[in-house]
Structure formats: C-alpha cells, structure tokens
Structure 1
Amino acid sequence: MLHGPRNRRPVGRAPGPGVFLGRPGVAAVSVLRATAGGGGVVAADGYFELVCDGGPIRVVVTGAGPRVLEVAKAVRRRTGLSLWHGKALLGRLPAVVLDDVTSDLAEAVAAELRAAGATVEVRY
C-alpha cells in the first residue's frame, strides 16, 4: 500500500467490503445487480449512504444571553477552544459549536450551554 506524504492513511486502493470509511453512515458494500438478458446476478462494489443514519447533527448557538463569559467557558470546556476564541465565536451568531456529533453528545452539550444562559438549537 502507498502512504500519503503527511499522513499515515493508505492511499491508492479502495477498502474491502464492509470497511468503515470514516464518515458516519457510509460503508463499502457489495451490491448485487441483475445482468441484462441473462437473468444472472453479478457482484459489483459500490459505496452507499445508509438510510437509517440521519445527516450530521450540529449544535448551534443562536444567542449568548446576558452571561456571555459563562457561555464562553462552557464552549471552551466542550470544544477545547481558548476562552478568547470561544468569546469571539459567540460574537458571530449564529455559530456552530459542534458539527457531526452523536445525538446524545449534542443534547448534553446543548443542555450545558442552556444552563450557562445561551439559546441553543440542535439541528438534525
């Protein structure tokens, strides 16, 4: 396998069937399709997005409320941003705090931000 220059991910060949590709809801699967005329079945590899998986879940702050510093501290705890960057993020509302997370994590972060005084939406 070939490796990229700055990362250790293999490049140059597709993963085998059933291999997770890193994006939620996307996997390599073997697909069976009917051939024209012969009625036989031929296997073809392809990538499909699973229907049961919703799209990316985002936590969006729409209002900082009266306690901006408390909300910035909560943003810092949950995202790893510095306090200065968290406060700057809250200056440009609406702001996406977390993107492409699980629904449990999104609801927990939204509850913490609401407790700090922010107006928060969880967008599915």
Structure 2
Amino acid sequence: MSDEEATEYYTLLCDDPSHEVVLVDCGPREMDAVLAVRKVTGQSLWHSRVLARQAPVTLIGGLPASRAQSIVAALEGAGARAEWRQETET
C-alpha cells in the first residue's frame, strides 16, 4: 500500500447512553402489573410474577431513552410505579 492509499479510521461515539427500566412497585393492581411486565420483557407469566413481586427490580437494560420511557409509560398504565435510569458505566 502506498502513502497515497492511506486508510482512515473513525471512532463513532454514541450521544445517547443506555438506560434501564426499574420496576419500583407493582401497585394495587398486581395482576395488571404482572401482565405488563410480561408484555415488555417477553418472559413467561410465572417469571413475570416473580419479577413483579421482587420490586424494586431492574427489568430491562441497554435501551435508548425513548424506548425506556415508553416501557415506563406502559407499566404505569397498568398501575405500577416504574422509572428509567441511565445505566452506570462499569
């Protein structure tokens, strides 16, 4: 390869850090919250119920902010308390 054919490399940086969705409390309508957890996680009904009863628990991580916000809205629509947080870098 000659000097004229130099290859350039670029590093891409993500402006939007990843976020996680935390179920804080399943609320008074536990079954509705369990069904919402099932819908957003894709887990079985049994596993979703276990997760809901372990609140506060992180349900999903590695999400863009907009996706995390929509999941929180779905959980809150089912009567649960949830929040989205920026994931801490390790």
- Would you call these one fold, judging by a TM-score over 0.5? yes
Task: Give the alignment partner of residue 15 of structure 2, picking from 52, 73, 87.
Answer: 52
**Aligned in 2, Cα 1:104/1:53: closer, same or farther, shift over 3 Å?**
closer
The structure with the largest helix share of the pair is 2
- Counterpart of 1:79? 41
Identity of aligned residues (%): 32
Deviation string 1:57-109 (CA, Å, 9 cap, x unpaired) is: 00000111011110110111111111110010112121111110111111111
If the length of structure 1 is used for normalisation, what is the TM-score?
Answer: 0.57
The structure with the largest strand share of the pair is 1
Structure with larger RCO (C-alpha < 8 A, sep 6+): 2
- Counterpart of 1:21? none
Any gaps of 5 or more consecutive residues in structure 1? 1-16, 18-28, 32-47
Task: Give the alignment partner of residue 30 of structure 1, picking from 9, 15, 37.
Answer: 9
Q: CA deviation at 1:53?
A: 3.5
If the length of structure 2 is used for normalisation, what is the TM-score?
Answer: 0.77
Count, aligned residues = 80
Task: Give the alignment partner of residue 98 of structure 1, picking from 60, 73, 79.
Answer: 60
Any gaps of 5 or more consecutive residues in structure 2? 1-6
Compare CA radii of gyration and give the structure with the larger one. Answer: 1
